[in-house]
Amino acid sequence: MLRRYLPILTWLPHYNRRLGGADLLAGLIVTVMVIPQSLAYAVLAGLPAVVGLYASLLPALAYVVLGTSRTLAVGPVAIVALMTGVALSGVATPGTPEYLQAALILSLLSGLMLLLMGLLRMGFVANFLSHPVIAGFLAASGLLIAASQIGHLLGVELTARDLLPRLVELVRGLPAIHLPTLAIGAGSLLFLLLLRQYGRSTLRGLGLSRPLADLITRSGPVFAVIVTTLVTWQFELDAIGVAVIGDIPQGLPPLSIPGFDVSLWQALLVPALLISVVGFVESVSMGQMLAARRRERISPNQELVGLGGANLAAAFTSGMPVSGGLTRTVINYDAGAQTPLAGMFAAIGIGAVTLFLTPALAYLPIATLAATITVSILTLIDIPLIRQTWRYSRSDFFAMAVTILLTLVEGVETGIISGVAISIGLFLYRTSRPHSALVGRIPGTEHFRNVERHETETASHVALLRIDESLYFANARYLEDTVYDLVATRPELEHVVLICSAVNLIDASALESLDAINARLRDSRVTLHLAEVKGPVMDRLKCSDFLDDMTGRVFLSTFAAWRELSRPSQ
């Protein structure tokens, strides 16, 4: 039980010097790489830049103890930062103490929700977010994040938070573009894009090894930060209007106690829930993918506990809501992290920066962070997946398109809630009209296939009806109509066999429909049979009177039913 809730106990007793060396190197690499991102995502959320560093310290340590992924790196991430900024701007003004206090409450609520969901073993909630909906939400969020950074890249002050008003405000503010800021922003953006697109292949062509080329390519934001900070400091560009980070407090994060304002808690409940679910889905998806590469496993339920603990740690150390980050996790994995202790080494490194090096970041241009954010969110927009969804399933594409549209127009909360509602609605619609097929025997075999797709043997007095869906309240009446139509169009029918090989559930409503079908067929002098009923389904049927009242039999296989019933009646 202790190891279940403290996964660190499963690997720490076997820790050795080899693992320590690999984790230390990975931690150092992650430290250097994620500092620009941590600062940038705090700015994206409308918070002081140092909050991003604070959120990368104790939350990461909490996940080391509670998390099950050996490579997931926890901290501020783009999508959660965007949702945080949207939620907080509705209850407080950015830059005020109330805004920061609301961020702490949001972290606390998110942590409590995740922890409770983990203790209740509710990892299955991720299943309610279909992949097309998540892809649509991430794509729209990526566009919103990019739009939120345009002002910083151009040196134009934009106050609107919604997409359309922001674009209108941008057009009106174009004459006020600040050229030095534009040079820094556009230059950083172009450098990062070119390095992302051509850096790896160019460096490999120069004779560098693949790991070194990958490391340098991913170090692009670090190079951009160093160069633009030095240029801004040397030429005093801040004096001519280039916005910079400014003084960042030195030292470890102060302990904080989220306030208890009932109205504020109520206003942040729904945003906290959405941030919790979206952050969990993103984290567990990344964790599962990387664990599979190493033939390891993670526990979604314990991941809820780990992320909950991380967010609670953020709430009490002046942080912001956190999750498992895509970029920092990939960097951690590629750097050779072997255990979660790599996260601890990264946290120590970021803590050292917070203690001693924050004065060096005072001249870091906001435009550079905006460029870093803009390039990093390109991974959120998956154009090939959108194109494939259009080709494969128009209904799924519809859910994706509505999610994108509503997220862009009405905001992230409306977009994700609508996407989930549409996904559930489509599921109910599809399963309320279950696919069924009349099947016949492939000549000379014991196999049965759809009579409309294959040349089969059939008998006019026997109907073999395969049901390709579990039976529950939403489709029970549809099954009745299907069977009644079949009997009405075939007056010579004597036997109806429901093939239940795909039926995993028969609920109480469906059981009543089976009783009604059995009674109606009895009145029509047609015998009802079942075939290939799964064990758990049969166990439930035995708890009812249906099997005793059924006019026919339960056959082990469709072939057994065919062999018994296909002979002409005497």
Mean pLDDT by groups of 10 residues along the chain of 570 residues: 84 90 88 87 92 95 93 91 91 92 96 94 76 84 86 86 82 90 94 90 89 82 91 93 90 90 92 91 82 83 94 96 85 85 93 91 91 82 88 88 89 82 84 91 93 92 94 93 93 94 94 95 94 95 94 95 80
Q: Do 293 and 329 contact (CB within 8 A), yes or no?
A: no
**pTM for the full model?**
0.79
Q: How far apart are CA 240 and CA 249, in angstroms?
A: 24
Q: Given this model, what pLDDT does residue 479 score?
A: 93
- Indicate where the chain has its CATH 3.30.750.24 domain(s): 436-565
Task: Please state the separation of Cα 82 from the chain's center in Å.
Answer: 15
Q: Encode burial over 122-157: b for 16+ CB neighbours within 10 A, e otherwise.
A: bbeebeebbebbbbbbbbbbbbbbbbbbbbbbbbbe
Helices 220-235 and 366-376, packing angle to 10 deg: 160
Q: How far apart are CA 160 and CA 147, in angstroms?
A: 11
Q: Given this model, what pLDDT does residue 570 score?
A: 46
Pair type for strands 554-555 and 527-531: parallel
> Looking at the domain 436-565, which fold is it?
Transcription Regulator spoIIAA (3.30.750)
Q: Given this model, what pLDDT does residue 317 score?
A: 95
